[in-house]
Each structure stands twice: as C-alpha cells, then as structure tokens.
C-alpha cells in the first residue's frame, strides 16, 4: 500500500494532458529542462522492457480518447491514441466493423500503447498485423514538435511511411497522439472450439490443425491458466480454436475441426457460440497476466517448426529451477507464451535470474512480456540483440538526442 504522501507524490509526477497542445507543451518543457519522461497509455504492458532510467515524471495519453472522424462508409477511422481498445471496438461494432488489434486487457489498453508496444496477436496470420491497418499517425516528438504521417486514404506512398517506424518503438521516438486506421467488415459469426487433450494426443492434434483447409482465425494449445482461460486441461493440455466468417463457412469449418480432432484421438469438442469473442479475449489477457511478485511471462517467437524445441526447453529449464510453467502456443503463428511462477515471491526471486540465463541459452530471442519492476531490471528482458541495433541507436540519437522519451526502456538501452 502506498502511503498518503507517496500517493500525492505519484499524482504530482503524473501529467495527463487533455489536449495535444498541452501534451506538446509538457514534452517541450521536459525536453528543455533535460528531464526524461515515462510515456504511458493504459499501463497494461508496463511489464515489458526496463523501467526508464532517470525519469521522475510520467506522461499519460489516456485523456486523448476522442474519435476524431469515423467514415464508416470508407472503412476508415481516426482516433485519439488514448482511446481504449474496447472503446474503439464498440464504436466500430456499431457499424459492423472491426480492426484486428488482438492485445491483452482491451478495457484498459490504449490504441497508442498497443501500437507503440508493437503487440502481435493470434489472428495476424489471417488478417495481417496491426501495422497493416494504420494509415496515418500524429506524433509528438521529443522536442514537442507535432508531426503527421500518412493520411485518411487506404493506399498511400506519399513520402516515407513514418508510422511504421513509430509502431513498435515503445515510446522512445515520440508520443503517438492520434491514429488513423482502415477497418474491416466484422465477420458474420464466430465460433470457439475447446478440446481437452488426452495423454499423447497433443502432437497429433497440432498437426491436424495445421492441415485444416479452412484456416482458423486463431488456434492455440493451452496448458494451465485454469479459470483464466475457458475449458479444462486433459493430460496433454487443451486446444482452443476460433473460427470467424460466414455462417456457411463456419459450418464447414466445424465439421473439419471435429473430424480432425477426432482422428487425432481427441474424444470431445466443446463449442462456444455466444461469447466466443469473450473467450478469445481471455486468451489474449492471459498472454500478459502476472501473479503479483511471483511470476514472469515470456514470449518465445519463432516458426512452428521449432515450437516443440522451444516448448521442451522451457519445461526442462523451469522444472530444473523448481518453478512451474503454464503455456500458450499459437498454432498459426508459432509464438509461445510461458508464464513461470513460484509458490511465493521469495522462492521465485531466488530462482528467476538463473532460469532467465538458462532460458536465453536455449532460446536466445526470449522476451519478457510481463514481470513486475524490481525483478525484471536484472533480467535479459529483450533477448538477443537484433542485427541492426547500431542503426536503431542512430535513429534514437537523431529523434531524441537528449534521451527525453522513455530512456532505457527498449532494446540496447535505447
């Protein structure tokens, strides 16, 4: 519990500008005074990266949540970066549209934060990445300058596509204040399939899903996450499949899924129609859910080919360290999420450093996606260094030479 004075301090150190002009002013001031800022949206992915160094004050975009323009007949929308994913979703739903942003905690996560974190979800193999839907951005740079990129048209090669640079830059190059998207007509219907996997059926089930003619919008193998995710584990965990599309297509897909899983030795499949997307949301939430001070969540990305190797390496290392793992394997994109926890904070803290080292030996690209602050400062949160790190550093040095925005949060202490 924070004491009253600590709470007051925190409030005083928090800036929540109501307009872009005010936000520019705050950034300009911080820049002039050489005072770094922590940039925050909904604070849902604050467990990624290192806590920014030297920054005493937090700048939050959550008040910039207006819908500036929604040309639903054009399938385009322009929103303030502080709007929540849920807010955006319900505005779009009124006109039967959607944008596949697929990030955790939709009720709190902001559009700006989700994009800045470059979050990638399970439906991207079908619909593309969030970046593919961004057609324009407005950003406040480290010196307070307001810059635009793109526009409100769905095809645009007028100048550099600066939005691509900002998406996934973790607020280290600028603060997104407004984003223009192209939208999609929402699928007519959605259906979730959940199946408990008996012993030794996992690999067969995974292969069967890979062979499906109608690709699911999302398919995951889940192990653990009791209560957090629908369904129950069998000895080999459980399968979660989301199909989206016309009623006719879903009928066909349903037959295929049941036949495929049946052949793989899976006796029963549970179907969720009403609330299918809610069940999918719980999957998304699990990807970054922590259990206080006694857990960490990793993302091990890669191709499906080596998913099994990553999975095995994770479980072996976790067991050796005396901790427990729960996992989510994205069967369409190859991402593996593993939540590793200890019985209590003490046991966890004692072991996590060694485990982090061991995991990175096996899976160099391991990225921490959720872990509370003091613990993760000593971990290799971003995994192996990208080939072009020196260029990235040069970009940071040009956009934010004084290190005003989220200094130290991103890879290579950018």
Residues 152-181 within binding reach of another protein (CB under 8 A): 152-162, 164-165, 167-169, 173
Q: Which is nearer to another protein, 72 or 315 (CB)?
A: 72
Does position 364 interact with another protein (CB under 8 A)? The reply is no
Rule CB under 8 A: choose which of 96, 267, 275, 322 binds another protein.
Answer: 96
Does position 398 interact with another protein (CB under 8 A)? The reply is yes
Quote the Cα angle for 124-125-131, to 5°. Answer: 35
Q: Which is nearer to another protein, 40 or 400 (CB)?
A: 400
Minimum distance from residue 1 beta carbon to another protein (Å): 35
Q: List the structure tokens of 152.
A: 């409100």
Site for another protein in 324-363 (CB under 8 A): none
Residues that contact another protein, how many (by CB under 8 A): 73
Does position 21 interact with another protein (CB under 8 A)? The reply is no
Place of tokens 């009253």: 4
Minimum distance from residue 212 beta carbon to another protein (Å): 11
Does position 113 interact with another protein (CB under 8 A)? The reply is no
Rule CB under 8 A: choose which of 367, 369, 371, 379 binds another protein.
Answer: 367
Site for another protein in 42-81 (CB under 8 A): 71-76
Rule CB under 8 A: choose which of 223, 225, 280, 410 binds another protein.
Answer: 410
Minimum distance from residue 23 beta carbon to another protein (Å): 15
Rule CB under 8 A: choose which of 51, 228, 249, 402 binds another protein.
Answer: 249
Cβ proximity of 347 and 322 under 8 Å: yes
Place of tokens 């009623």: 247
Rule CB under 8 A: choose which of 25, 132, 353, 372 binds another protein.
Answer: 132
Does position 25 interact with another protein (CB under 8 A)? The reply is no
Minimum distance from residue 189 beta carbon to another protein (Å): 12
Element (H, E) at 114: helix 111-116
Q: List the structure tokens of 146.
A: 């307001």
Rule CB under 8 A: choose which of 248, 354, 361, 378 binds another protein.
Answer: 248
From 6-14, 141-149, 282-290, 344-352, span contacting another protein (CB under 8 A) = 141-149
Binding mask 300-319 for another protein (x = CB under 8 A): -xxxxx--------------
Minimum distance from residue 96 beta carbon to another protein (Å): 5
Site for another protein in 250-279 (CB under 8 A): 251-252
Q: List the structure tokens of 134.
A: 């961004």
- DSSP state, residue 50: P
From 36-44, 60-68, 269-277, 298-306, span contacting another protein (CB under 8 A) = 298-306
Half-sphere exposure of 59 (CA within 13 A, CB side): 35
Strand, coil or helix: what is 221?
strand
58 CB-contact burial (10 Å; exposed 0-12 / middle 13-18 / buried 19+): middle
Does position 126 interact with another protein (CB under 8 A)? The reply is no
Does position 12 interact with another protein (CB under 8 A)? The reply is no
Closest among 218, 17, 41, 23 to 115, alpha carbons compared: 41
Does position 16 interact with another protein (CB under 8 A)? The reply is no
Strands 37-40 and 57-60: parallel
Rule CB under 8 A: choose which of 19, 54, 128, 275 binds another protein.
Answer: 128
Q: List the structure tokens of 398.
A: 């040009």
Does position 382 interact with another protein (CB under 8 A)? The reply is yes
Measure Cα distances from 287 to 21, 91, 187, 225, 396 in Å. Answer: 35, 25, 24, 10, 29
Q: List the structure tokens of 70.
A: 């929604």
93 CB-contact burial (10 Å; exposed 0-12 / middle 13-18 / buried 19+): exposed
Site for another protein in 211-240 (CB under 8 A): 213-215
In 167-306, alpha helices (H)? 202-210, 247-263, 276-286
**Measured distance CA(342)–CA(351) in Å, rounded:** 9
The residues near 255 (Cβ < 8 Å, ≥ 6 apart) are none
């Amino acid at each position: 519990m924070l004491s009253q004075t600590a709470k007051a301090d925190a409030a005083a150190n928090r800036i929540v500008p109501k307009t872009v002009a005010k936000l520019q002013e705050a950034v300009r001031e911080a820049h002039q005074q050489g005072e770094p800022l922590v940039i925050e949206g909904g604070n849902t992915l604050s467990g990624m990266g290192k806590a920014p160094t030297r920054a005493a004050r937090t700048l939050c975009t959550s008040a910039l949540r207006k819908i500036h323009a929604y040309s639903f007949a054009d399938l385009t929308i322009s929103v303030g970066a502080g709007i929540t994913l849920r807010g955006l979703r319900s505005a779009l739903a009124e006109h039967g549209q959607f944008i596949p942003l697929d990030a955790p905690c939709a009720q709190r996560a902001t559009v700006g934060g989700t994009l800045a974190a470059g979050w990638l979800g399970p439906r991207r193999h079908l619909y593309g990445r969030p970046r593919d839907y961004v057609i324009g951005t407005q950003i406040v740079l480290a010196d307070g300058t307001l810059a635009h990129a793109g526009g409100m048209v769905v095809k645009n090669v007028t100048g550099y596509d600066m939005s691509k640079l900002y998406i996934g830059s973790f607020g280290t190059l600028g603060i997104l204040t407004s984003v223009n998207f192209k939208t999609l007509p929402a699928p007519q219907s959605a259906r979730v399939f959940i199946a408990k996997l008996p012993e030794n059926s996992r690999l067969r089930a995974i292969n069967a899903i890979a062979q499906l003619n109608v690709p699911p919008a999302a398919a995951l193998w889940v192990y653990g996450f009791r209560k957090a995710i629908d369904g129950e584990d069998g000895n080999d965990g459980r399968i979660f499949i989301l199909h989206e599309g016309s009623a006719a297509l879903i009928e066909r897909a349903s037959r295929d899924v049941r036949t495929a899983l049946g052949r793989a030795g899976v006796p029963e499949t549970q179907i969720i129609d009403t609330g299918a997307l809610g069940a999918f949301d719980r999957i998304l939430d699990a990807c970054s859910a922590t259990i206080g001070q006694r857990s960490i969540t990793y993302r091990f990305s890669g191709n499906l080919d080596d998913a099994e190797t990553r999975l095995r390496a994770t479980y072996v290392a976790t067991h050796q360290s005396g901790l427990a793992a729960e996992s989510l394997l994205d069967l369409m994109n190859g991402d593996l999420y593993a939540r590793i926890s200890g019985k209590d904070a003490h046991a966890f803290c004692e072991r996590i450093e060694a485990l982090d080292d061991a995991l990175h030996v096996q899976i160099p690209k391991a990225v921490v996606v959720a872990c509370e602050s003091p613990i993760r400062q000593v971990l290799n949160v971003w995994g192996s260094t990208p080939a072009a790190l020196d260029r990235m550093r040069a970009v940071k040095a040009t956009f934010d030479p004084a290190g005003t925005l989220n200094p130290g949060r991103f890879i290579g202490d950018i």
